[in-house]
Amino acid sequence: MDYQGILNEIKVNVDCTKLPGEVASYIPELAKISPDKFGMHLYSVIGEEFCFGESQERFSIQSISKVLSLSLALLYEGENVWKRVGVEPSGDPFNSLVQLEYENGIPRNPLINSGALVICDILVSHLENPKAEYLQFVRKIAQNDQIDFDEKVAESEKAEGHHNRAMINLIKAYGNIKNDVEEVLDFYFYTCSVQMSCKELARTFVLYANHGCLIETGEQILSVKRTKRINALMQTCGFYDEAGEFSFRVGLPGKSGVGGGIVAVYPNMYSVAVWSPKLNEKGNSTAGMLALELLTNITGSSIF
């Protein structure tokens, strides 16, 4: 498959400057990013790379980090994770509180904010130094020691994070947060602030296209069964109340973040990351979704 030719075609056909959408501004530091950034990077399971645009410029991966947090929590807590968080799509926005009250503080899934807060609570219980150990895990699967938090973004969200603060207190009231809420929130905001480029993100997520094995060494980081389940959750829950739309248009498991990044995984084949900061009203990158839709349409292949 001529992936570079296909990416070139996508670049010509997706003019992010003309597409609608707004850069996220509820995290003040993110509002400073130029709306017209656009990059895409595809990483195959045999280590081939194809790209265009600003694919090597770092951005805030935000909710994409929820997949990495879940992966680490599963390594420590195993199947017990599912006693504290569900596996059903929410059909609600990423930061919604409404289901929590009906469902007694058990978040619908780990890829919405409420679920990720519970996952971070699990990690705070297990890790001696959560931020350092989280970073160590991410660097390992990224095979890159330069991956880091963006402190400015984390602190900017912490200062304005009233919605997440309300949410974690509600979950705590139901007994599903065991640690101090400010400690868990601080850790959560830092996990969201991890910076990666499309190249680094695609490289990191090739693990999920490769049955949980690092492509260079073959080291099994996540079991085949867990990798299957994480991909299933990305498919059904990775885009909140737009998960159906993403499946319908793109047909790959994926995860978005309010930094404008989207990563998608084609098991046995490749992972692909795209970045364009203008978001639609559901919080997903407008140009990113279109670029991925073109990718699976032009290649004529998706998991469906």
One-letter identity of residue 295 = L
C-beta closer to ligand DON: residue 38 or 246: 246
Question: SS3 of 22, please?
Answer: strand
C-beta closer to ligand DON: residue 7 or 265: 265
Of 55, 62, 90, 109, which lies in the binding site for ligand DON, with binding defined by CB under 6 A?
A: 62
Binding mask 234-263 for ligand DON (x = CB under 6 A): ----------------------xxx-----
Closest to 119 (Cα-Cα) out of 147, 82, 94: 82
**Token pair of 107, please?**
């978040």
Of 106, 192, 233, 252, which lies in the binding site for ligand DON, with binding defined by CB under 6 A?
A: 192
Question: SS3 of 27, please?
Answer: coil
Which residues face 254 on adjacent strands?
264
Q: Find the distance separating the first CA and the last CA of the chain, reported in whole Å.
A: 18
To the nearest whole angstrom, how small is the minimum distance from the Cβ of residue 183 to ligand DON?
A: 16
C-beta closer to ligand DON: residue 113 or 210: 113
C-beta closer to ligand DON: residue 147 or 243: 243
Contact between 96 and ligand DON per CB under 6 A: no
Distance CA 122, CA 130 (A): 10
Binding mask 209-238 for ligand DON (x = CB under 6 A): ------------------------------
Binding mask 161-180 for ligand DON (x = CB under 6 A): ---x----------------
Contact between 113 and ligand DON per CB under 6 A: yes
C-beta closer to ligand DON: residue 221 or 258: 258
* 59 Rama sector, left if φ>0, alpha if ψ -120 to 50, beta otherwise: beta
Question: SS3 of 266, please?
Answer: strand
To the nearest whole angstrom, how small is the minimum distance from the Cβ of residue 1 to ligand DON?
A: 29
Distance CA 260, CA 278 (A): 6
> Alpha helices, DSSP H only, in 41-178?
65-77, 81-84, 98-102, 113-126, 130-142, 151-160, 162-173
C-beta closer to ligand DON: residue 45 or 250: 250
To the nearest whole angstrom, how small is the minimum distance from the Cβ of residue 144 to ligand DON?
A: 21
Contact between 63 and ligand DON per CB under 6 A: yes
Closest to 185 (Cα-Cα) out of 108, 243, 130, 256: 130
Q: Which residues contribute to the site for ligand DON (CB under 6 A)? A: 62-63, 94-95, 113, 157, 164, 192, 256-258, 283-284
